[in-house]
Amino acid sequence: MSKNRTALAVLTEAEVLDFLPSPSLERLQDLLPDLEIVDPLTDEFGDWPRRLAEKRPEILITGWKVPTLPESWLEDPNYSLRYLCHCTGTVRKLIPRAFLDRGLVVTNWGHSISRVVAECGLLLTLTALRRVSSWSIDMHLNGAWKTPDVYVESLFGRQVGLHGFGNISQHLARLLKPFGVRVSTYSPSVPDSLLESFGVARAESLEDLFSENNVIIELAAYKPENRHLVSEKLLRMIPEGGTFVNIGRGAVVDEGALLRIAREGCLQVALDVYEVEPLPADSGFRGLPNVTLLPHLGGPTIDRRQDAGAHGVDNIERYLKGEPLESVVSLSVYDRST
Amino acid sequence: MSKNRTALAVLTEAEVLDFLPSPSLERLQDLLPDLEIVDPLTDEFGDWPRRLAEKRPEILITGWKVPTLPESWLEDPNYSLRYLCHCTGTVRKLIPRAFLDRGLVVTNWGHSISRVVAECGLLLTLTALRRVSSWSIDMHLNGAWKTPDVYVESLFGRQVGLHGFGNISQHLARLLKPFGVRVSTYSPSVPDSLLESFGVARAESLEDLFSENNVIIELAAYKPENRHLVSEKLLRMIPEGGTFVNIGRGAVVDEGALLRIAREGCLQVALDVYEVEPLPADSGFRGLPNVTLLPHLGGPTIDRRQDAGAHGVDNIERYLKGEPLESVVSLSVYDRST
């Protein structure tokens, strides 16, 4: 099925090692015997538009370091590209929109990274409840030890609200299962049957979600109408002694409001994502003992880049067989992405 | 069944609130209509030996603040105590051994706290893999942000070795289930059928456990022959890039060896327990970026003291019905405890 498909992979040496460890690279080479792999960081990579014009790839496999596709290539009568398999996340800076208009099929790492992000959500929740961030500072820098009535909390017995019920949220529901906690979600578009299969209850409104759970995990997708959707009013509905975790998108939350509330010291806050990234060095969140901060480490971790690579190889195989692809970056996904 | 049993609970006001929130206190009062509750921190508590001699309790319910039982009470011809239900952990400082010799039945919080300790084990594992401790310090105090190739890891795809397979370890195996990781344990006394029911593999030796897993979670019980059982040789068998977590007992590990290895920087280490507690302010572990330190927060957290209280009330009910009790502190358990 795969003979004579012209394919070019533009991946650094490190990307090949991280994304395509054995047996992924071997599988890919079996599927695409004529595959050429070039490292965009080497001198021999040369002139990108000329390389594309000469190679005339039908399939491009790309990573973080690939240069932007030259729009001029679309004018080339021998323009050949039909499928771009991007091994990482957003393609906004890599692919001008005109390529998608012209019918280019694009996929990215899609859901292959969801479980690792979900893991980070569980980690941040447990971290916030057990006050690991402030204990890390106090144990390492202040010679601290606990007092008899040290206040830390467990996840057991809590009510967890997931804002959004996409793939990451679904993985998180799986990780929460053995804790036996009540999990509910606000995600109007999700059918009852899906929620039932996860044992997750439906919150009828965002207000219900925030007022009826003492752990809120933010996972709503970013789209313009979701900007600052999580307002001061909503955040103040979280019951006393509650916890707010954001592993979704920073801009979904009114960060100024969250900072005001965090400064009052009652809400435990754990953040992996921010409205402005990198988080400014003088951000007011830095230094607050009830706030856990990670620098957008949600996922995938380096050791799980292989999941994204395997997902890409699966998609190559589907493409060659004429089957539907997963994690397709449609025009509407493209326009929503950052 | 429970009429006219003389019972005395020696609990502070805070202990009653934390250990016996509704409906536990009501259940206890239904079981023991003549129950008297006294707060050992108040003036009216008075003289402990005299109070015991006058009250002649058959059942004592105790917390952290109860004074040591006076051995002189055993000489009293009206000595009445048959069951002591201790709501917390060790009873070594509370009950002279002579009371057990005389046939006193003692229970403590036993397994009711296991799941919360297991949660701490999962938390420390995820924390070590994702480098939360050093990121907490760098984000809060050093204005940090990640570099493109920040090295953090996921639990997915790891091999986890549990040293010991008691109740905490079993709970941890449940929490690890949705990660789909291979879990094995070294615990010679545990039957195959139990391991099979948890989907946990058996390591034939400690050497196998440490050399075949890249995450080791230490949960072996402390007994004199286990002192420094986890030696430098064993610790150096953990594969490169591995993680060592201790939520069991500090003295099971050769802490000096662990510190030497931790200082080399390759092993991720996460500790909740130490050979000497409180951990000395000048401990060499403090300040190491690859070490996560908590001040023995394993469990139970304040919000889950209610589990220990409910466990105690269950035991009172069993005692009154003449059923076998759980979490009995036998003489051999007593002699092993710290």
- Average confidence (pLDDT) over B281-302: 96
Measured between CB atoms, which of A126, A178, A287 is closest to B140? A287
Do β-strands A59-62 and A36-38 pair in parallel, antiparallel, or remain unpaired?
A: unpaired
Residue of A nearest to B115 (CA): A156
State the pTM of this model.
Answer: 0.95
CB contact under 8 A, A175 and B177: no
CB contact under 8 A, B179 and A175: yes
- Render A175-236 in DSSP notation, one character per residue: HHGGGT-EEEEE-TTS-HHHHHHHT-EEPSSHHHHHHS-SEEEE-PPP-GGGTT-B-HHHHT
- Average confidence (pLDDT) over A10-17: 97
A292 contacts on B by Cβ (under 8 Å): 132, 136
Measured between CB atoms, which of A137, A152, A281 is closest to B136? A137
Residue of A nearest to B283 (CA): A143
CB contact under 8 A, B179 and A177: no
Q: Determine contact, residues A227/A249, Cβ cutoff 8 Å.
A: no
For all residues of chain A together, what is the average pLDDT? Answer: 96
B129 contacts on A by Cβ (under 8 Å): 301
Quick one: CA dihedral A281, A282, A284, A290, positive or negative? positive
Looking at residue B68, its amino acid is: T
Measured between CA atoms, how close is B130 to chain A, in angstroms? 8
Share of chain B above pLDDT 90, in %: 95
CB contact under 8 A, B141 and A144: no
Share of chain B above pLDDT 70, in %: 99
Mutate which of B122, B129, B133, B139 to test chain A, going by most A C-beta atoms within 10 A?
B139
A17 contacts on B by Cβ (under 8 Å): none
pLDDT band per the 50, 70, 90 thresholds, residue B2: very low
Domains B7-109+302-336 and B113-293 share a fold: yes
Residue of A nearest to B180 (CA): A175
pLDDT band per the 50, 70, 90 thresholds, residue A3: low
CATH number assigned to the domain with residue range A7-109+302-336, chosen from the 4 options 3.10.20.30, 3.30.2130.10, 3.40.50.720, 2.40.50.140: 3.40.50.720
CB contact under 8 A, B154 and A300: yes
Residue B1 has pLDDT above 70, yes or no: no
**Helix/strand/coil for B244:** strand
Residue of A nearest to B179 (CA): A175
CB contact under 8 A, A132 and B132: yes
Note the Cα A92 to chain centre separation in Å.
15
Give first-to-last CA distance, chain A, whole Å: 36
A300 contacts on B by Cβ (under 8 Å): 154
Measured between CB atoms, which of B130, B134, B286 is closest to A143? B286
In this predicted structure, what is the pLDDT of residue A335? 87
Quick one: CA dihedral A329, A330, A333, A334, positive or negative? positive
Residue of A nearest to B294 (CA): A135
CB contact under 8 A, B143 and A302: no
Mutate which of A64, A129, A130 to test chain B, going by most B C-beta atoms within 10 A?
A130
CB contact under 8 A, B303 and A157: yes
Residue A1 has pLDDT above 80, yes or no: no
Radius of gyration of chain A (CA): 23
CB contact under 8 A, A295 and B179: no
Residue of A nearest to B304 (CA): A154
In this predicted structure, what is the pLDDT of residue B241? 94
Q: How far apart are CA B21 and CA B302, in angstroms?
A: 12
Q: How far apart are CA A50 and CA B182, in angstroms?
A: 49
DSSP conformational letter for A58: S
Token digits of residue B182? 């291979």
Domain-by-domain residue ranges, chain A? 7-109+302-336, 113-293
Residue of A nearest to B158 (CA): A303
Q: Is ipTM > 0.90 here?
A: yes
**pLDDT tens-digit map of A45-96:** 999 999 999 999 999 999 999 999 999 999 999 999 999 999 999 999 999 9
Looking at residue B210, its amino acid is: F
CB contact under 8 A, B119 and A179: yes
pLDDT band per the 50, 70, 90 thresholds, residue A2: very low
- Average confidence (pLDDT) over A105-130: 98
For domain B113-293, say whether CATH 3.30.70.20 is its number: no
- Render B82-129 in DSSP notation, one character per residue: -EEEESSS--TTTS-HHHHHTT-EEE-SGGGGHHHHHHHHHHHHHHHH
Residue A236 has pLDDT above 50, yes or no: yes
